[in-house]
Amino acid sequence: MNVKFPPPFTPFVHLAADLQSQGFAVLSPPGTLAWLGNSLHALNAWRPSWDDLPADAYLKDGGHYRRRRHSCFVVDGDQVNQTPHRAHWQPLDYNALHGGMQRLFEPMVAEMVQSQAWMQMLESFAQLCSRLKPSAVDPAHGAQPWFVEAHQFRIDTTDGIGRPTPEGAHRDGVDFVFVLLVARHGIKGGESRVFEVDGPAGQRFTMTEPWTLLLLDDERVIHESTPIQPLAAQDAENGYRDTLVLTFRAKAFQGEGDEKSVSVDKSE
The reported pLDDT for the residue numbered 200 is 81
pLDDT (tens digit per residue) in 138-165: 655 556 899 999 999 999 998 889 998 8
The side-by-side arrangement of strands in the sheet containing 66-76 is 24-27, 213-217, 176-185, 240-250, 146-156, 66-76, 79-82
Tens digit of pLDDT for each residue in 43-52?
A: 999 999 999 9
Strand 146-156 relative to strand 240-250, pairing: antiparallel
**What pLDDT is stored for residue 98 in this prediction?**
52
Q: What percent of the chain has pLDDT over 70?
A: 86
DSSP line for the chain: ----PPP-B--GGGHHHHHHHHSEEEE-HHHHHHHHT--HHHHHTTGGGGGGPPB-TT-TT----EEEEEEEEEEETTEEEEPSP--B---TTT-TTTTTEEB-PPPPPHHHHTSHHHHHHHHHHHHHHHHH-GGGS-TTTSS--EEEEEEEEEEE-TTS-B-S-TT-SB--SSSEEEEEEEEEESEEE--EEEEESSSS-EEEE---STT-EEEEETTTEEEEE--EEESSGGGTTT-EEEEEEEEEEESS-TTTT-GGG-EE----
Give the model confidence (pLDDT) of 2-26 as tens digits: 668 999 999 999 999 999 999 999 9
pLDDT of amino acid 261? 34
Checking if the pLDDT of 62 tops 80, the result is: no
Q: Evaluate if residue 258 carries a pLDDT over 50.
A: no
The pLDDT of residue 198 is: 82
Are 67 and 108 within 8 A, CB to CB? no
Residue 240 has pLDDT above 90, yes or no: yes
Summarised one tens digit per residue, pLDDT across range 89-123 is 766 665 545 545 777 899 999 999 999 999 999 99
- Residues 66-85 pLDDT 10s: 999 999 999 998 899 999 99
Q: What pLDDT is stored for residue 77 in this prediction?
A: 87
- Average pLDDT over all residues of the chain: 87
Q: What is the pLDDT of residues 184-220, one digit of tens each?
A: 999 999 999 999 988 788 899 999 999 999 999 999 9
Q: How many CA atoms lie less than 13 Å away from 151 in the CB half-sphere?
A: 24
pLDDT at site 209: 97
Amino acid at 205: F
How many CB atoms sit inside 10 A of residue 22's CB?
Answer: 17
